[in-house]
């Protein structure tokens, strides 16, 4: 596909730190007719590849098992506690995720716009792959309460996840729209509806294909 084609879809990235409400925002976009893909789902698919699981098992062994079965949550806790481990995991899953993203884009090339929810968009250096980036933000206190209620996370686990991500303030200047999510779900849906009305007017940029965005782990 020709990514310089002016008739290609508008490519939108939605991101935000853990507990910010980015997934609910994307759910709202879907309700209002937008095509949305979630990279957490793509990650789960890539983790199921035999060669990926083999590399994970060789590095972490039984530490990623729970009742004899692979536990993505245990793996997450291990890698979020170690930048080196997180970098290694990214190096074996990101190529597959980016290829899946590219295939999805090209499969839906006839749509006016395509949205991807990507929790670590900036941390992975993917901003050159999007025409427009939406950052959903909430205060650390609000995010912590949501995670305790939604995922029953221990406060130490919550803090470890928050510490592993780039602070919101650093992401502001790289985002095209900042959605502050401190209110109700209805408020967030209203923000999503307002954004949907803006999408047809988004200008397309000179973006890169997802597979051109991969940065090898060092």
**% of residues, the chain, pLDDT over 70:** 98
| pLDDT, mean over the chain | 92
Which residue stretches of 133-184 are H helix?
A: 140-151, 155-163, 168-172
Task: Examine the pLDDT at 215 and tell me if it is beyond 90.
Answer: no
How, if at all, do strands 69-70 and 65-66 pair?
antiparallel
Give pLDDT, residue 174: 97
Task: Examine the pLDDT at 150 and tell me if it is beyond 90.
Answer: no
Give pLDDT, residue 161: 78
Give pLDDT, residue 146: 83
* CATH topology identical between 1-35+108-200 and 40-107: yes
What angle (nearest 5°) sits at the alpha carbon of residue 196, between those of residues 98 and 109? 40
Task: Report yes or no: 112 and 200 within 8 Å, Cβ to Cβ.
Answer: yes
Over residues 167-184, mean pLDDT: 95
Tell me if residue 109 falls in helix, strand or coil.
coil
Domain chopping of the chain, boundaries = 1-35+108-200, 40-107
Dist. CA 37–CA 41, nearest whole Å? 8
Over residues 85-99, mean pLDDT: 94
Q: How far apart, in Å, are the Cα atoms of 206 and each of 47, 85, 109?
A: 31, 33, 16
CATH topology of domain 40-107: Rossmann fold (3.40.50)
What angle (nearest 5°) sits at the alpha carbon of residue 87, between those of residues 59 and 67? 40
CATH entry, 1-35+108-200, from 3.40.50.280, 3.60.15.10, 1.20.1260.10, 3.40.50.300: 3.40.50.300
Instruction: Give the pair of three-digit tokens for residue 61.
Output: 């062994």
Give pLDDT, residue 217: 58
**Residues 16-57: tens digit of each pLDDT:** 998 899 999 999 999 999 999 999 999 999 999 999 999 999
Task: Examine the pLDDT at 8 and tell me if it is beyond 80.
Answer: yes
pTM for this model (two decimals): 0.91
């Amino acid at each position: 596909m020709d990514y310089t084609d002016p008739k290609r879809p508008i490519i939108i990235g939605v991101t935000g730190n853990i507990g910010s409400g980015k997934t609910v925002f994307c759910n709202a976009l879907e309700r209002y007719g937008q095509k949305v893909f979630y990279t957490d789902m793509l990650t789960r698919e890539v983790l199921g590849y035999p060669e990926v699981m083999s590399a994970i098992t060789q590095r972490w062994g039984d530490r990623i098992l729970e009742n004899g079965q692979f536990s993505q949550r245990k793996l997450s806790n291990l890698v979020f506690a170690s930048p080196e481990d997180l970098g290694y995991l990214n190096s074996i899953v990101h190529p597959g995720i980016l290829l899946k993203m590219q295939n999805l884009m090209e499969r839906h090339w006839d749509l006016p716009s395509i949205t991807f929810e990507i929790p670590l968009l900036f941390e992975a250096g993917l901003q050159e792959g999007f025409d427009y980036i939406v950052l959903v933000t909430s205060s650390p206190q609000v995010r912590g309460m949501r995670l305790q209620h939604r995922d029953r996370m221990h406060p130490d686990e919550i803090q470890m996840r928050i510490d592993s991500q780039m602070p919101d303030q650093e992401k502001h200047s790289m985002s095209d729209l900042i959605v502050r999510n401190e209110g109700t779900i209805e408020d967030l849906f209203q923000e999503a509806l307002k954004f949907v009305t803006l999408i047809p007017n988004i200008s397309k940029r000179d973006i890169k294909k997802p597979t051109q965005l991969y940065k090898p782990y060092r």
